[in-house]
């Protein structure tokens, strides 16, 4: 993928860009919907018709059948999900097409299919339910749809596990080992009930006996932003600020999650902060743009980033600038929309619709 923002859009000053985005929004009126994820820059979020976590935005994309154009300020897998869930007459644009997700890239289709071949020998979809985190390629969502599985986000992973265990003996969860593990622990499983499929090794680095003993096979993927947080950060914060509240995203390692006061999706974190009384001190373990925005809007509370030093920025979320948004809104008729092939869409939609049903 190659994308170079035209020079004119790089050189335009912020006040002019803002005027142009407002003007384009007004011109498009009810035909356009701008969706912005919680990790987007403040000046991008300002233009969102809706802001939310990946689950909430997918739901909005599925339900707003009245609009013609959806501009998704987030990362590629989110825009793909919007394209899968929207209608054929609707078009979805990703203002910066280079915005991907390194965690999603850790589950390559060929590698997942290879793992499935091994699981098939042990019973396949008679025994295993594939569950993919939303952060995955459309082809893997289709794979889940074809094999009786579903998609989840960090806001409904528990419900997805319930759905899975009500129907199958074992789960095959990818790509985030941490969300998968944290959800398993919340579900009452023991660490030994979960094994890690290391895609860089033959047979995932597992014996058939290990797979047989496990209840969940977890893909060895992770988010480089959330794995920055360490248990010592929680301990240090509690020492420094007695009475502090600590809330983290479930992509953080279990050792961090277990020490935090609360864990949940980006949407959950926003609500958690809103619910704390004025004067509270809250440390947050998630992406820095969301933390900064929460600090900006809740000046009656002290809101700090949990590690205190690592600046957990998601470079891909940060890629989308207001310059990109202005360019996309003004030129979308010449830009290729996100377009998931029909056959993939058909099965991916099954898995995504299950996700929307099991919240
Ligand atoms: P949410 O589902 O909480 O919005 O998270 C998406 C994500 O990519 C977190 O890193
Ligand atoms: Fe992907 Fe992590 Fe960025 Fe979320 S924060 S989009 S999981 S790289």
| Ligand with smallest separation from the Cα of 250 | 1
User: Is the minimum distance from the CB of 54 to ligand 1 under 6 angstroms?
Assistant: yes
Q: Compute the distance from residue 39 Cα to the ligand 1 centre, in Å.
A: 8
Q: Which atom of ligand 2 has the smallest separation from the CA of 223?
A: 2
Q: Please provide the average confidence, as pLDDT, over all residues in the chain.
A: 97
User: Is the minimum distance from the CB of 153 to ligand 1 under 6 angstroms?
Assistant: yes
- Domains of the chain (ranges, CATH numbers): 7-100+317-340 (3.40.50.10800), 107-221 (3.40.50.10800), 228-313 (3.40.50.10800)
| Ligand with smallest separation from the Cα of 157 | 1
pTM: 0.96
Please name the residue whose Cα sits nearest to atom 5 of ligand 2.
314
Question: Which of 314, 315, 318, 319 to probe ligand 2 with, by most ligand atoms within 8 A of CB?
Answer: 314
Q: What angle do CA 131, 133, 135 make, to 5 degrees?
A: 145
Q: Compute the distance from residue 54 Cα to the ligand 1 centre, in Å.
A: 6
Q: What is the pLDDT of residue 191?
A: 98
Q: What are the residues facing 91 on neighbouring strands?
A: 69
Q: Compute the distance from residue 16 Cα to the ligand 1 centre, in Å.
A: 31
Beta strands in the chain (DSSP E): 32-37, 50-52, 69-73, 91-93, 128-133, 150-152, 170-174, 194-197, 216-219, 245-248, 262-263, 281-285, 302-305
pLDDT band at 309 (very low <50, low <70, confident <90, very high): confident
**pLDDT tens, residue by residue, 315-347:** 999 999 999 999 999 999 999 999 999 999 999
Q: Does position 94 have pLDDT exceeding 90, yes or no?
A: yes
Tell me which residues have their CB closer than 6 angstroms to ligand 2: 75, 101-103, 135, 223, 225, 251, 287, 314, 316-317
Q: What is the pLDDT of residue 1?
A: 72
Q: Do residues 279 and 286 make contact, with C-beta atoms less than 8 angstroms apart?
A: no
From 109-113, 121-125, 307-311, the region with the lowest mean pLDDT: 307-311
User: Is the minimum distance from the CB of 223 to ligand 1 under 6 angstroms?
Assistant: yes
Q: Which atom of ligand 2 has the smallest separation from the CA of 75?
A: 6
Cis geometry, peptide bond prior to residue 175 (ω within 30 degrees of 0): yes
User: Is the minimum distance from the CB of 53 to ligand 1 under 6 angstroms?
Assistant: yes
| Ligand with smallest separation from the Cα of 176 | 2
**pLDDT tens, residue by residue, 133-191:** 999 999 999 999 999 999 999 999 999 999 999 999 999 999 999 999 999 999 999 99
Q: What is the pLDDT of residue 161?
A: 98
Measured between alpha carbons, how far apart are the two ends of the chain, in Å? Answer: 34
Q: Compute the distance from residue 311 Cα to the ligand 2 centre, in Å.
A: 14
**Cα 319 from chain centre:** 16
Q: Do residues 306 and 283 make contact, with C-beta atoms less than 8 angstroms apart?
A: yes
**pLDDT tens, residue by residue, 233-278:** 999 999 999 999 999 999 999 999 999 999 999 999 999 999 999 9
User: Is the minimum distance from the CB of 305 to ligand 1 under 6 angstroms?
Assistant: no
Please name the residue whose Cα sits nearest to atom 3 of ligand 2.
314
User: Is the minimum distance from the CB of 251 to ligand 1 under 6 angstroms?
Assistant: yes
**pLDDT tens, residue by residue, 2-59:** 789 999 999 999 999 999 999 999 999 999 999 999 999 999 999 999 999 999 999 9
């Amino acid at each position: 993928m190659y994308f170079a923002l035209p020079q004119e859009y790089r050189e335009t000053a912020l006040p002019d860009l803002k005027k142009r985005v407002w003007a384009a929004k007004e011109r498009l009126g009810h035909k356009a919907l701008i969706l912005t994820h919680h990790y987007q820059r403040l000046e991008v979020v300002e233009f969102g018709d809706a802001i939310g976590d990946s689950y909430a935005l997918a739901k909005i994309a599925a339900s707003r059948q009245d609009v013609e154009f959806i501009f998704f300020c987030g990362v590629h897998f989110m825009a793909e999900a919007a394209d899968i869930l929207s209608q054929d007459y609707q078009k979805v644009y990703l203002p910066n097409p280079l915005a991907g997700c390194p965690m999603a890239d850790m589950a390559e289709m060929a590698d997942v299919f290879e793992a499935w071949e091994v699981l098939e020998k042990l019973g396949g979809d008679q025994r295993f339910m594939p569950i993919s985190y939303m952060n995955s390629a459309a082809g893997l969502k289709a794979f889940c749809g074809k094999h009786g599985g579903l998609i989840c986000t960090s806001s409904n992973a528990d419900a997805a596990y319930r759905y899975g265990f009500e129907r199958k003996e074992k789960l095959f969860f990818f790509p985030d080992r941490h969300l998968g593990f944290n959800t398993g622990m919340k579900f009452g499983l023991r660490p030994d009930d979960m094994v890690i499929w290391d895609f860089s090794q033959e047979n995932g680095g597992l014996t058939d006996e290990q797979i047989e003993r496990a209840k969940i096979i977890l893909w060895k993927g992770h988010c480089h932003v959330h794995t920055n947080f360490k248990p010592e950060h929680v301990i240090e914060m509690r020492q420094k600020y007695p009475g502090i509240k600590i809330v983290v995203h479930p992509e953080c390692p279990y050792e961090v999650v277990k020490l935090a006061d609360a864990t949940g999706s980006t949407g959950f974190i926003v609500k958690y902060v809103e619910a704390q009384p004025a004067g509270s001190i809250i440390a947050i373990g998630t992406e820095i743009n969301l933390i900064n925005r929460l600090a900006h809007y809740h000046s009656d509370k002290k809101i700090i980033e949990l590690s205190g030093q690592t600046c957990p920025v998601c470079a891909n979320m940060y890629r989308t600038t207001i310059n990109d948004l202005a360019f996309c809104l003004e030129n979308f008729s010449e830009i290729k929309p996100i377009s998931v092939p029909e056959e993939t869409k058909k099965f991916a939609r099954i898995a995504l619709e299950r996700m929307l049903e099991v919240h």
